[in-house]
Amino acid sequence: MEAVTAERAEGALLSVRGLTVRFRLRGGRTVAAVSDADLDLAAGECLALVGESGCGKSVLASALLGLLPGNAVASGTALLAGGTPEAADLLAADEKTLARTVRGRRVGLVPQSPAAHLTPVRTVRSQLEETVRALTAVPRRARREAAEAAAARAAFPQGHLDRYPHELSGGLAQRAATALALIGDARLLLADEPTTGLDRDLVDRTADELRRHVDDGRALLLITHDLAAAARVADRVAVMYAGRIVEVAPAHRFFGPTGPRHPYARGLLDALPERAFTPIPGMPPELSALPEGCAFAPRCARATARCATRPDLRAGVACHHPEHARA
């Protein structure tokens, strides 16, 4: 595992090590939103980060772009294009660097809450054209056409381009945000729940467009609870539980007959309507009061006394009693 990790890290567009995010609360309490996250992402690859709501997926993405609130403390490293003259540690970069050279240019973002990222007093068309102007070399006379092309890529209807954000449904706002993120053709795209509010046909269309972005030689970190969308586009899957990555696996194995090895990851799949439709018992732990050992142990039928100690992410799975591969 260590040799494979080293090889992957060497050629990675994004290499994250030990990413930890703590939120400071009143009374001196802290919330461990993300703990010791390691991941690598290569050009031409999609990594899907999946898990229940509140597990830390969106916090991880916000940390990479310096978008955490003021009471958050992030540590670790997140090297973007490590080994190149433009290499940058996203966690160490200041706001000026992130705003001028990273966001939109080197790293694009499809936000989880698009309404909060759209300017309320400007039409979708004007925001698309302004983004074209800021991030591309398209001449002024061609900006309108480029904006319409970006809208088409995100399945945003041209008839709604001259509307303001408050006139859009949640699904349309999501597609507008996706169009904005695609304009710069950033080498790395962070898509945080990009299919929220979309019907199944639009989910598939959005997923396919994101896959085309990857197939053009760029990288995609897809943060989603939509496992069907992840299965459609991902090359690898990383599973988060209670702020920790508990399994990383090739998508063909994770979604195929072999299945995942971590009991929680397998429970996510078994809870799908098209599978066993069996919910995972119990509730996730409070992030402000995580146990010393395996956080999933209270919900796990395989737990033993050994689970009072925290398992490391070895051979792609952080579990003392991983599931055997299905026949």
Calculated CA dihedral for residues 114, 72, 221, 252, nearest 10 degrees: -120
pLDDT given at position 154: 95
Q: Are 40 and 16 in contact (CB under 8 A)?
A: yes
pLDDT given at position 152: 96
Q: Report CA-CA distances (Å) from 140 to 71, 87, 177, 192.
A: 42, 31, 22, 31
Q: Are 244 and 36 in contact (CB under 8 A)?
A: yes
Ramachandran angles phi, psi of 176, nearest 5°: -65, -45
Chain segment 186-229, per-residue pLDDT in tens: 999 999 999 988 999 999 999 999 999 999 999 999 999 999 99
pLDDT given at position 129: 98
Report if residue 262 sits inside a domain: yes
pLDDT given at position 234: 98
Report if residue 42 sits inside a domain: yes
Tell me the residue type at 177: A
- Alpha helices (H) in the chain, listed in sequence order: 2-10, 57-64, 95-97, 124-135, 143-153, 170-183, 200-215, 227-233, 251-254, 263-270
Q: Count of domains in the chain?
A: 1
Q: Specify the CATH number for the domain of residue 304.
A: 3.40.50.300
228/225 Cα distance (integer angstroms): 9
Chain segment 235-282, per-residue pLDDT in tens: 999 999 999 999 999 999 999 999 999 999 999 999 999 998 999 999
Of 317, 323, 179, 234, nearest to 50 (Cα)?
Answer: 234
147/126 Cα distance (integer angstroms): 9
Residues of the chain where predicted confidence (pLDDT) is lower than 50: 1-4, 327
Report if residue 285 sits inside a domain: yes
Report if residue 167 sits inside a domain: no
Q: Are 300 and 286 in contact (CB under 8 A)?
A: no
Of 68, 50, 51, nearest to 59 (Cα)?
Answer: 68
**Residue 45 structure tokens:** 């690859």
Of 184, 179, 171, 185, nearest to 152 (Cα)?
Answer: 179
Q: Which domain holds residue 269?
A: 1-99+238-327
The DSSP line for 230-250 is: HHHH-SEEEEEETTEEEEEEE
pLDDT given at position 116: 80
Q: What is the 3-state secondary structure (H, E, C) of 297-313?
A: HHHCCCCCHHHHCCCCC
pLDDT given at position 117: 86
For residue 79, the cross-strand partners are 15, 89
Report if residue 137 sits inside a domain: no
Report if residue 255 sits inside a domain: yes
Report if residue 153 sits inside a domain: no
